[in-house]
Structure 1
Amino acid sequence: MTFHRPDWDSYFMMIAAVAATRGTCLRRKVGAVIVKDLQIISTGYNGAPKGLPHCSEVGCLREKLGIPSGERHEICRGSHAEINAIAQAAAVGTSTEGAVLYCTHEPCSFCTKAIINAGIHRIVFVFGYPDPLAAQMRQEAKLEVCQLSEEVFQEMDGALKAFLDQ
């Protein structure tokens, strides 16, 4: 099998996908990677705050109440991948000013506010998320936004197979 070296966007998105596998949200696995000068400065995934029980352990209140996806985030015990990645950078004193966020899913409006305040200037994602306010805020903040094709994950599968076939 011929090895295909991924471009930078694909490479960092593949790492975001691996981060998503750590997620403890029962509804959606999301991973995020913050990159500055082509160096990873932090990662994040959906899950409860540090030291608290995960949704996978105590259940999902939104699920129990039958709340549709994208609604009532305020009653969710989990933090989104983007927020966790920003918090991880802050916890070790690393600035995210001018960084790029790679996230498996398009950020919601809550995360978009944090992304803007963190000084992140570019967002790369694969799966869209219907949040008109988030899109409007990104446009107003003049954030660069790039949506990659789902084929990036097929490339990852091919790259892993090529690696294993060495």
Structure 2
Amino acid sequence: MPGEKDAEFLAFVTMSRRELRQVAFLMCGDWHQAEDLTQDALLSLYAAWDRIEVRSRLLPYARRVLLRKLLDQRRRPWRREVATSVPDREDVRAGTHDLGERRMLLDLLANLAPRRRACLVLRYFEELSVAETAEVLGCSEGTVKSQTSRALAELRALVDDAGLAIDDLLQGVS
């Protein structure tokens, strides 16, 4: 029934839209782009709604669609522009972590390749397990571990001069 499909989808969107937008923001670093990515992902999800058999796995599936939308968008030549500053927004997650450190972390995340950034966002901000992250990214658990390790190594190299520990930054934001 069309009405039932719409009601189910609306309930899912109501429950997950904010979280998906936060994930998108952490992956791309721009609230407007995050909103566009979230809307595109939800449109694709709605188009495939009748074909989705396991309704209990909707959020991981939606994250995967979101990531694919971001990667597709990054391949477009006109999307290769990089933001030079972080929007004046309060924390993407409530907490007491210093806003300056959050901005620094977002700037650092913007320097990472999209797959590595996605690994960090899903593992540390969304607190997904290695297996769940692998499912969202469509890769093996070993790939998630290696990409996460390499991303952390890149971030550590970037913050060494600042005298901050990347582990502290990640702990405080998550």
TM-score range (shorter-chain normalised) is 0.3 to 0.5
| TM-score normalised by structure 1 residue count | 0.36
| TM-score normalised by structure 2 residue count | 0.35
Q: Return the structure number with greater helix share.
A: 2
